[in-house]
Amino acid sequence: MYSEKVIDHFTNPRNVGEIANPSGVGEVGNAQCGDIMRVYLQIEDDVITDVKFKTFGCASAIASSSMATEMIKGKTVAEALELTNKAVANALDGLPPVKMHCSLLAEQAVKAAIKQYYDNNGIAYDTALFAKLGDDAHEHGDLVEE
């Protein structure tokens, strides 16, 4: 059912934790069903120098969080904004169709963190980039923390 990459990123998630004094934090999810993802970004000179996450959710949500953080670390903010849920799912060698929403949560959390970074620093942006944040629904699962 799950690819080896999904299992690996679930059992050995990368970049778990928090960043003290982050440049931006994005939290998305659906508290009613239990999945919540929080992404912390450290941005210097428009480059994501560090990224951490905490996710309360199923194996697919945790694996998607882990993979998304790996995909944007060291990238520019503009490159990170190009992250899509399909790219996350593909990097994990696929997700079951009923779990694709987990990769969407990862995309939205990254974008929410970037939006907060923009807002905190008075950086102008196209609001359409962030129009769908928080429109996700999820199943519940395991908690990954430090």
Enter the tokens of residue 44: 């210097």
Please identify which of the residues 16, 33, 47, 87 carries the catalytic annotation: 33
Residues 95-129 as b or e (16 or more Cβ within 10 Å = b): beeebbbbbbbbbbbbbbbbbbbbeeeeeeeeeee
The catalytically annotated residue of 19, 37, 71, 102 is: 102
Tokens of 27: 């939290």
Is 102 part of the annotated catalytic residue set?
Answer: yes
Within 13 A of 93's CA, how many CA atoms are on the CB side? Answer: 9
Query: Please, are residues 72 and 57 in contact by the beta-carbon 8 Å criterion?
Result: no
Would residue 58 show up in a list of annotated catalytic residues for this protein? no
Q: Which residues are catalytic?
A: 33, 102
